[in-house]
Amino acid sequence: MLQLQFEFQIRFSITIPTLTMFLLKTWRQSAFGVYGYLNFTKPAFLEHSKNFKPEEMETQIPGKNCLVTGANSGIGYATAEGLAQRGATVYLVCRNKERGEAALSQIQTKTGNQNVHLEICDLSSVTDIRSLASRFSKKNVPLHVLVNNAGVLEQNRVTTSEGFELSFAINVLGTYTMTELMVPLLEKASPDARIITVSSGGMYSTPLTKDLQYSESNFNGTEQYARNKRVQVALTENWAETYKNRGIGFYSMHPGWADTPGVAKSLPSFSKSLAGKLRTSEEGADTVIWLALQPKEKLVSGGFYFDRAEAPKHLSFNATNGSHAAINSVIDSLRSLASLS
Ligand SMILES: NC(=O)c1ccc[n+]([C@@H]2O[C@H](COP(=O)([O-])OP(=O)(O)OC[C@H]3O[C@@H](n4cnc5c(N)ncnc54)[C@H](OP(=O)(O)O)[C@@H]3O)[C@@H](O)[C@H]2O)c1
């Protein structure tokens, strides 16, 4: 056996652990691809929607304050519009003033709800998030719903002005910092407060890793995105436990594969090959809005949701199950990077 391993290494100049890892990654990605094709497309949404109960989306929520990040485009825009349609006061968090103002005016016109406001914040910056949280605290209003939606899949390694890998900065550190700083405002809306984090089924393809900023030299943006989305699911599980007595529900979710500006830009081949089979942004936002409207007793805090139902956090045979044990170490790193006490 050792002889065989030695000959294999000489011939192909790769080690058995490297080969095993390569095969495992390939298996996980293939399993995710097949599972996704069967479940995440538009035809799957139409099939799943046969079990939806229309009355669950009829609740009106005037007087509830909802903050949606990345609200000028795609799923975030559709979420903000859906919440405004149901009478909520909605705060759009956008990084770009013009795009934010365009979304604000479109939502006000379409819904007739004037209680829609714009907050400018670059969620890749801890400093900017701190400033938003401090501005928002001064309003002294309870926050009923925080939707952590803003996200990117960046194919190249880009470093932010604060020195972080960009997708990690937005998807993970931004989500973590925003959530931790907003918890006191959500407590004011207790017991009906909730935080919904828009993760992705892409996380099925990877375990939780402590390598948060992709230290390997060959940067793989799609893999880094999947890793980020896995962290969001594990963080949500941990927040549910940490804050279980604070009257806040924590949910992560997958919107399915939706045809959004983000997908068209980051995954052009995927977008073209599934043309006509992708969900609309509204279909992607459906479960986010559903999670915002349901009585909390119906929901499982810490759970991962898809198409209005709790979904597994791991695919069978993908060997990712035990990985969430690393979450405390991940949180220690995040707390330190965000300089939170
Ligand atoms: N579409 C899908 O199939 C799919 C599948 C699984 C998960 N998701 C998740 O769904 C969420 C929304 O994605 P989407 O598909 O709707 O993409 P999108 O159309 O690109 O929307 C992303 C939003 O996030 C904002 N954003 C990005 N970086 C930001 C930053 N640094 N600060 C503030 N805002 C920032 C964008 O603003 P700009 O317009 O200024 O860039 C935009 O409003 C993401 O978390 C994504 O991972 C999407």
- pTM of this prediction? 0.95
The sign of the CA dihedral 229, 178, 258, 273 is negative
Decide: residue 52, CB within 10 A, 0-12 exposed, 13-18 middle, 19+ buried. middle
Indicate the residue type of 17.
P
User: What's the confidence (pLDDT) of residue 174?
Assistant: 98
User: What's the confidence (pLDDT) of residue 285?
Assistant: 98
* pLDDT of 290 higher than 80: yes
Q: What is residue 126's three-state secondary structure?
A: helix
Pocket of ligand 1 (CB under 6 A): 70, 72-76, 94-96, 99, 122-124, 149-152, 170, 198, 200, 254-255, 257-258, 260-263, 284
Q: Which CATH number fits domain 2-337: 3.40.50.720, 3.30.530.20, 3.10.20.340, 3.20.20.140?
A: 3.40.50.720
User: What's the confidence (pLDDT) of residue 27?
Assistant: 87
Q: Is 70 left (phi over 0), alpha (psi -120 to 50) or beta?
A: left
Percentage of the chain exceeding pLDDT 70: 96
User: What's the confidence (pLDDT) of residue 23?
Assistant: 87
* pLDDT of 89 higher than 80: yes
**pLDDT confidence band for 9 (50 / 70 / 90):** low
Could you give the C-alpha distances from 84 to 21, 78, 155, 198, 295, in angstroms and in order? 47, 10, 33, 19, 19
Distance 157 CA to ligand 1 centre (A): 18
Kind and range of the H or E element at 135?
helix 126-139
Distance 103 CA to ligand 1 centre (A): 14
Distance 18 CA to ligand 1 centre (A): 33
User: What's the confidence (pLDDT) of residue 16?
Assistant: 76
Percentage of the chain exceeding pLDDT 90: 87
Distance 262 CA to ligand 1 centre (A): 6
Query: Mutate which of 73, 286, 291 to test ligand 1's pocket (most atoms within 8 Å of Cβ)?
Result: 73
User: What's the confidence (pLDDT) of residue 106?
Assistant: 98
Ligand 1 atom nearest the C-alpha of 278 is 3
User: What's the confidence (pLDDT) of residue 20?
Assistant: 83
Q: Which two tokens stand for residue 190?
A: 């207790």
Decide: residue 71, CB within 10 A, 0-12 exposed, 13-18 middle, 19+ buried. buried
Query: Mutate which of 68, 118, 129, 198 to test ligand 1's pocket (most atoms within 8 Å of Cβ)?
Result: 198
Longest dimension (CA), the chain: 75
Average pLDDT of span 274-301: 97
Q: Higher-confidence residue: 313 or 34?
A: 313
Domain residue spans of the chain: 2-337
User: What's the confidence (pLDDT) of residue 8?
Assistant: 54
* pLDDT of 266 higher than 90: yes
CB-CB contact of 305 with 311 (8 Å): yes
Q: What is residue 1's three-state secondary structure?
A: coil
Ligand 1 atom nearest the C-alpha of 262 is 20
User: What's the confidence (pLDDT) of residue 7?
Assistant: 58
Average pLDDT of span 207-229: 96
* pLDDT of 5 higher than 60: no
* pLDDT of 255 higher than 90: yes
